[in-house]
Amino acid sequence: MKISCFPKYRIGRLLGMIQILLGGLVIIVSISSLFRFYSAGFFMHNEDICKQFYGVKDVYEGFDVMSLSARVDEVLDKMLKLQENLESKVQQMEKIKDLVNNTVSMLDYKKFIEEDVIHPLYGAHIALRQLRLPRVENGTTNEDPLINTFVTEEIRKYITPKETRVGNKNIYGSQKIFNTIGHGCVSMKKELEEYMDYDIGSFCKDDWNVAQNLMINGCDPLPRRRCLTRASKLYQKPYPINESLWRIPDGRNVRWSNYRCRNFECLSIKNPKRGYSKCTGCFEMEKEKLKWVTNTSLLTDFLIKDALAVKPGEIRIGLDFGIGTGTFAARMQEHNVTIVSTALNLGAPFNEMIALRGLIPLYITLNQRLPFFDNTMDLIHTTGFMDGWIDLQLMDFILFDWDRILRPGGLLWIDRFFCNRKDLDDYMYMFLQFRYKKHKWAISPKSKDEVFLSALLEKPPRSL
Ligand SMILES: *[C@@H]1O[C@H](CO)[C@@H](O)[C@H](O)[C@H]1NC(C)=O
Ligand SMILES: *[C@@H]1O[C@H](CO)[C@@H](O)[C@H](O)[C@H]1NC(C)=O
Ligand SMILES: *[C@@H]1O[C@H](CO)[C@@H](O)[C@H](O)[C@H]1NC(C)=O
Ligand SMILES: *[C@@H]1O[C@H](CO)[C@@H](O)[C@H](O)[C@H]1NC(C)=O
Ligand SMILES: *[C@@H]1O[C@H](CO)[C@@H](O)[C@H](O)[C@H]1NC(C)=O
């Protein structure tokens, strides 16, 4: 009996000791987490620091303390459950000791430690580590998403949803306005904080290139800023519309400091140090003037008048998705068609150029859904942008988005899309999957391995 009793007794004592150990461990983990919390500045009760973080004290009291205490409660809850569980287990074992001659096998013992001790302890530990993040509520998010990821006051102010001042519904009929930033901003925290570091109301840094870099790398849309954007020293009035369309603009109307070139002449294709590599001939008006109006030897070069002849008088508004200086839009304007041209300033002032020509640049990356409503555009023209480099899945999402904004009967003009000959089938499938009506379809060789594909397709009616 003595021998049989001994292991059980030992197990009870062991569990007791484990409990004490775990208690100690938990205290250490809590202290270290809280220390981290403290070092991030979240525990300072200094009024100034609260102001720096939250600007408005209500926000501090209404939101973050709640989030913090909710997390602490969660952890305390878990700890309490663990303790109760362990205690009841010990009592259970004491009872068994008196009744049955039962030795706990090593396997049961291991299982018990794993399931009843380590798992809950791990849960509590993780919960403590996440003290700095707001707890994700089930279904309704009481906390502002990701707000605690950022420390810079201006970012926190920006992404805090803004309640209406009068009544409980705003102009959209919703309760709050949610300023959004791309979730990619979280991985570019340092750059974003640098971008948002300014004195409210004073001049911004000359950092559009920092902003564009953020956008391209996924921090898109970017937050608005409350600083004054810089302009060129002596902004000249633009040329009148009868001249501006086909004339290189006044270089003084561009801020050149973040480009390699300092004037429009320098952007010439002949200059090897022009600082950009996409659409290299686009700043040469003599060459631009030939596009879409003169016959070339390439089958894949369609003319604007032929494309418009497919739907006479029906094409009035459209989107030119690509990289360029707005020449397509300029030509279409001559046909009384309004075209919005997408443009990024990739090494050259494409946006400024388009605007100075009197056309509409749309400053947008590939990251986003297009800011047009469903079934609204008469035409989408694309050239020089979506080429063989593009991931097929990305392209699929983009093409479906185009399909969304194109109206029934609208035209999709794929202009000199090029890719490797061996990839042609994949891309052809991409374009043909929508079962658009083919008005024009041409393939011609670009080089030994590459081919051009051009197509003029019409979106069919969708009466569903
Ligand atoms: C308790 O265990 C011992 C040795 O393992 C055995 O001799 C004894 O019969 C057991 N008693 C009961 C009640 O099972
Ligand atoms: C969370 O929501 C799901 C489904 O809405 C529900 O089944 C679950 O019980 C909820 N959990 C908590 C902790 O409320
Ligand atoms: C452009 O229009 C203005 C007046 O509207 C005129 O004075 C000017 O000569 C025109 N320029 C050209 C190049 O036709
Ligand atoms: C282009 O070629 C077509 C026939 O190939 C011809 O009818 C047309 O006049 C040409 N246009 C120009 C601007 O040369
Ligand atoms: C464009 O509109 C103007 C004014 O309404 C008209 O005079 C001109 O003929 C139109 N151009 C074309 C190509 O339809």
pLDDT 10s digits, 32-72:
655 555 444 444 444 444 444 444 343 444 456 666 777 78
Q: Is-contact 291 327, C-beta < 8 A?
A: yes
For residue 247, report the distance from its CA to the centre of ligand 3, in Å: 13
Q: Would you state the pLDDT for residue 55?
A: 40
CB atoms within 10 A of CB 288: 20
For a mutational test of ligand 3's pocket, the pick from 239, 242, 245, 246, i.e. the residue with the most ligand atoms closer than 8 A to its C-beta, is 242
pTM: 0.68
CA atoms within 13 A on the CB side of 165: 0
Domain count of the chain?
3
With tokens 């030509």, the residue in question is 331
- Regarding whether 187 and 315 lie in a shared domain, the answer is no
- Regarding whether 210 and 326 lie in a shared domain, the answer is no
CB atoms within 10 A of CB 200: 10
Q: Is 311's C-beta closer than 6 angstroms to any atom of ligand 5?
A: no
For residue 245, report the distance from its CA to the centre of ligand 3, in Å: 12
- Regarding whether 126 and 190 lie in a shared domain, the answer is no
Q: Would you state the pLDDT for residue 53?
A: 44
Query: Which amino acid residue places its CA nearest to atom 13 of ligand 3?
Result: 243
Which residues in the chain come in under a pLDDT of 70?
A: 1-12, 15, 29-67, 97-104, 129-145
Q: Where are the beta strands (DSSP E) in 80-202?
A: 162-163, 176-177
CATH code of 300's domain: 3.40.50.150
Query: Which amino acid residue places its CA nearest to atom 1 of ligand 2?
Result: 138
Q: Is-contact 120 81, C-beta < 8 A?
A: yes
Residue 166 resides in a domain: yes
Contacts of 406 (CB under 8 A, 6+ apart): 375, 377, 380, 412, 459
For a mutational test of ligand 1's pocket, the pick from 8, 101, 102, i.e. the residue with the most ligand atoms closer than 8 A to its C-beta, is 101
Q: Would you state the pLDDT for residue 409?
A: 96
Residue 464 resides in a domain: no
Contacts of 92 (CB under 8 A, 6+ apart): none
- Regarding whether 48 and 9 lie in a shared domain, the answer is yes
Range(s) of the domain holding residue 25: 2-132
For residue 139, report the distance from its CA to the centre of ligand 2, in Å: 8
- Regarding whether 97 and 169 lie in a shared domain, the answer is no
Contacts of 303 (CB under 8 A, 6+ apart): 292, 293, 294, 295
Residue among 378, 447, 442 nearest 415 (CA)? 442
- Regarding whether 310 and 188 lie in a shared domain, the answer is no
Residue 51 resides in a domain: yes
Among the atoms of ligand 3, which is closest to the Cα of residue 241? 1
Q: Is-contact 377 413, C-beta < 8 A?
A: no
- Regarding whether 159 and 128 lie in a shared domain, the answer is no
The tokens for 57 are 């004290």
- Regarding whether 422 and 289 lie in a shared domain, the answer is yes
Residue 204 resides in a domain: yes
The span from the CA of 71 to the CA of 135, in Å, is 6
- Regarding whether 124 and 158 lie in a shared domain, the answer is no
For residue 411, report the distance from its CA to the centre of ligand 5, in Å: 21
Residue 146 resides in a domain: no
- Residues 13-27: tens digit of each pLDDT: 776 777 777 777 777
Q: Would you state the pLDDT for residue 36?
A: 53
- Regarding whether 180 and 313 lie in a shared domain, the answer is no
For residue 144, report the distance from its CA to the centre of ligand 3, in Å: 55
**92 burial via Cβ count (<10 Å: 0-12, 13-18, 19+):** exposed
Q: Would you state the pLDDT for residue 33?
A: 58
Residue 240 resides in a domain: no
Instruction: Examine the fold and report which residue of 132, 164, 197 is the final residue of a domain before the chain moves on.
Output: 132
Residue among 324, 300, 279 nearest 451 (CA)? 300
